[in-house]
Amino acid sequence: MKKKFIVAITGASGSIYGLRLISALIKFPVDLFVLISNSGRQVTAHETDFKSGPIAGYLEKAGEVFHEQAILTEVDPSDFFAPIASGSFQHTGMVIAPCSMNTLAAISSGITDNLIHRAADVCLKEKRTLVLLPRETPFSLIHLKNMTRAAEAGAIIMPPSPGFYTRPATIENLVDSMVARALDHLHLNHDLSPRWGS
């Protein structure tokens, strides 16, 4: 069966993590569902060259090459009728990169105000892979407790805090070292970033 993944970009700083992850995933023969929150759109426009419009158009313009079997579907985060809103829709994992404290709070308390929250909630109830890249600094006790609650419910908490042992030469190298760890949790074989000992 073709692997299906969900990637969400929310309104924390670090939209580039989500964009690089999506760029990496479309190199595989996968069905990819992408959600971008309203704040995610605004922060992405502020921090990156992706200003507006469909993400597929942005990727093509940026010269990203899709695997011939990759299909990217952008889903409106207010569309609760989308297939990914249901536990009966099977997929292989979801990553929220970056994950705002707002979205983290919603997930850790089971509030599903938009389709990003709902799809994450479904991952937890169906025991599917959910990787969160929560971004804020410093973390308050509320943030830390929300991360603990999400982890206890099965989420993988992966703060975007890249290692420097690969001696990254560019911001893209640095970001990709985190994206590589997320791809590992999606069980994809890749060589996006050097591995220690290789």
Binding residues vs ligand FMN (CB under 6 A): 10-13, 37, 39-40, 43, 46, 100-103, 135-136
- Cβ burial of 190 (10 Å; 0-12, 13-18, 19+) is middle
Min dist. Cβ of residue 17 to ligand FMN (A): 11
Min dist. Cβ of residue 67 to ligand FMN (A): 28
Closer CB to ligand FMN, 146 or 177, in the complex: 146
Closer CB to ligand FMN, 65 or 142, in the complex: 142
Tokens of 92: 């292989």
Closer CB to ligand FMN, 105 or 156, in the complex: 105
Min dist. Cβ of residue 94 to ligand FMN (A): 15
Identify any residues that bridge with 35 across adjacent strands, giving them in sequence order. Answer: 8
Contact present, 179 and 17 (Cβ < 8 Å): yes
Closest CA to 133 of 163, 165, 155, 109: 155
Min dist. Cβ of residue 195 to ligand FMN (A): 28
Closer CB to ligand FMN, 77 or 93, in the complex: 77
DSSP tally for the chain: helices H, then strands E? 7, 6
